[in-house]
Structure 1
Amino acid sequence: MSTLIVDSFIGGGAYGQVHCAQWEGRKVAVKKFLMAQDEVRQAAIQHEINILQCLADRHIIQFYGTTYHEGQLVLIMDYAEGGSLHRAIEARLIADWPMKTRIAQEVVRGLAYIHQKDILHRDLKSMNVLLTRHMEVKLCDFGLATVKVRSASKSTSSAKGTTRWMAPELFTARPKYSTKSDMFALGVVMWELAADCTVPFREQIDNYTVIGLVKNGEREELPGETPLDYRRWVKRCWDQDPAKRPEASEMVTKYDKLDYGVGLSDRECGSDLSLTMTGMTIASSGGEGAKRPNSDTGQSYEEISVLLTKANAGDTTAQVALAVYYEKGIGVEKSKMEAFKWYLRAAASGSTKAQFKTGSCFKYGCGTVRNHAVAAYWLQQAAEGGCPLAQSELGWMYQNGLGVELDHNQALLWYHKSAEQGDLCAQNSLGLMYQKRSGS
């Protein structure tokens, strides 16, 4: 095999490291393995090679072969100049819906291809989706992939994959993998694209809590501006019942025929400054004369009325609770503008959680106009109050010079504070900054 010149480090995988390299006059990526001393690891490496040799599609990373470099086994593959989808989302490089839906479509096509080859990926997530210079999708990292058993879903004694992308049926004593568990992970990747967020259930630090939520049918919320057809596909992909999830081949056939225009905003849906429940409206003055709801909305008339009275009287806990109700549509008509109004009132009174939410509203233009400088102000208030999510967001703003002056030292400072409290996103960003030798 031709001379291989290994260059810079890209990242780590399940069994080795990935580097840039020069091979036969082209830039490639090489996955380096330490010489395995045990049969289990040797078998795992050979398994990945066997899978890669079966695949040849424009949306799958191209595998060229293996060789040895300085005594280490290496796999030679295409180099994806655009890096991972994970990093692109983190850097806010995928800003508009046409690009988001096109990238999602290409992930679907890659998944449909491997499923047609009777191969399950089993670890689909944004980190395992690469992008070329032209932002074309290439699925990668088939270290956990397996050949599908035609007669039944594969059953193993323990689940493999990444917890926050795994389907509920995998959190059992004998998890059953199928194309439908890959489709669940696809739904989470589509959520990552829609939400501009790479950590599902980010507010939950403990993975065991996430497992409980997913098993109970809890899912992340999609942003209000998510196109309706895109939203429907995501909902189908992460249905609790595997039988109700689509196959990738069905999505390939139907996906690009649908309307992916921007979904209805709160303003278009109507967002009057009152609490609207099924069969009643509680006015901002306290809801006198309102009728009781005709059906169960999850919160009683009395609870909402008391909450509103306390919020209007300046109770910050009630203001935050009311904002959450509006944000989630709990017992009231969902409204970003009303949620923002109550978060802002509570933020001005010193609520750290409300300050973080207010900063996020200004950063993303949720319920108010987008203003990065004002966003940075409120995130700074929340970060100084000890909120790890605000600290992570503030670190990102300093790292990218958004709303504040570019300052990698400040970015590292706030990422450190957030990471010390267990924020996964901050830990990842901190690692990437040190890897690139940003800051001091």
Structure 2
Amino acid sequence: MLVVGEYSVDAIELGAGGYGAVYKGKETATGKPVAVKVLSHGRMRVAAIQHEVKLMQNARHKHVIELYVHIQQEDKSFLVMELAEHGELFSRVIDKGNLDEPEAKVYFAQIMGALDFLHGRGIAHRDLKLENVLLDAQDNCKICDFGLAHQYDFDASGKMIKTTLRDICGSKSYAAPEVLAGRGYDGFATDVWSCGIVRAAAPRPR
């Protein structure tokens, strides 16, 4: 067991990606369960990690995974986050053979509510998919993984400055056509496209 600051990290892996992995952990003093994302500085630039941390700090919403603390060491960064005990929405869909329509409607409304909040803060997620929506102990949706998210700037009056994005990112099965084609795109519009794919994948076929 690894001890990082006021938290202990178990060997139980909850998920893994190209830049690191997420493990189950707990707050040492209280025993409160947490999720700990471990990112290697050799695989992901420190500036990119700090960008993700800043976005998550600006994205506090009941349907977005909460970041508790960021602990940076010489060769690794640890993002201590809220634990979504029921795992990925993707796993729920696979286990149930898709979802019943009423259940899918509740999940979709929660995802869209969180997305509306993020867009209001100038944040385009850019990697929305079933695997990046988690379920807490009460089966509430929580959007996670802001590694590819973009933060739009605001001018002195508070008006958002919408620039055209051009970098190709996200998951091919969920990405909008203009992203895959390498054309300029609106990050908010492509998030909505990805949400549509999530919605189409969730309900049980009639």
Pick the TM interval, shorter chain.
0.7 to 0.9
Q: Which amino acid aligns with 1:33?
A: L
Map of 1:341 onto structure 2: none
Percent same amino acid at aligned positions? 30
The verdict on how the C-alpha distance between 1:133 and 1:70 changes in structure 2, with shifts beyond 3 A counting, is farther
Q: Relative to total residues, which structure has the larger strand share, 1 or 2?
A: 2
Q: CA deviation at 1:12?
A: 0.7
2:164 to 137, 151, 154: 154
Name the structure 2 match of 1:103: 107
- The structure, 1 or 2, with the larger RCO (C-alpha pairs under 8 Å, 6+ apart) is 2
Matches within 5 A, 1:255-274: none
Residue 175 of structure 1 and its aligned partner are, at CA, apart by 3.2
| Cα distance in structure 2, aligned partners of 1:74 and 1:191 | 34
> Distance in 1 between the 2:202 and 2:151 partners?
28
Matches within 5 A, 1:157-236: 158-195=167-204, 223=205, 225=206
Quote the Cα distance in structure 1 between the aligned partners of 2:150 and 2:181. 19
Larger Rg: 1
Measured after TM superposition, the shift of residue 129 of structure 1 is 0.1
- The number of aligned residues is 194
Taking structure 1 as the reference length, the TM-score comes to 0.42
Name the residue aligned to 2:157. Answer: none
> 1:29 & 1:69 partners in 2: Cα distance?
18
Runs of 4+ in 1 over 2 A off after TM superposition: 68-72, 93-96, 148-156, 171-175
| Cα displacement (A) at 1:70 | 9.7
- Is contact 1:4–1:69 with CA below 8 Å preserved after alignment? no
Map 1:318-329 onto structure 2 (within 5 A): none
Give yes or no for contact 1:85–1:131 (8 Å, CA) kept in 2: yes
Cα distance, 1:69–1:167 mapped onto 2, change above 3 Å: same
Q: Which runs of 5 or more residues in structure 1 are unaligned?
A: 196-222, 226-440
Give the direction of change, closer, same or farther, for the CA distance of 1:172–1:78 in structure 2 (3 Å limit): same
The answer to whether the 8 Å contact 1:153/1:178 transfers is no
How far apart are 1:56 and its partner, in Å? 1.1
* Alignment root-mean-square deviation, CA: 2.1
1-structure distance, mates of 2:186, 2:18: 19
Shift of 1:123: 0.2
For structure 2, the residue ranges without an aligned partner over 5 or more in a row are: 154-159
Q: Do the aligned residues in 2 keep the contact of 1:30 with 1:77 (CA within 8 Å)?
A: yes
Alpha-carbon contact 1:122-1:177 (below 8 Å) kept: no
Give the direction of change, closer, same or farther, for the CA distance of 1:68–1:118 in structure 2 (3 Å limit).
closer
Higher helix proportion, which one? Answer: 1
Structure 1 residue 31 corresponds to structure 2 residue 37: yes
1:60 aligns with 2:64: yes
Aligned to 1:134, the other structure's residue is in SS state coil
- Equivalence map 1:244-259=2 (5 Å): none
Q: TM-score normalised to the size of structure 2?
A: 0.86
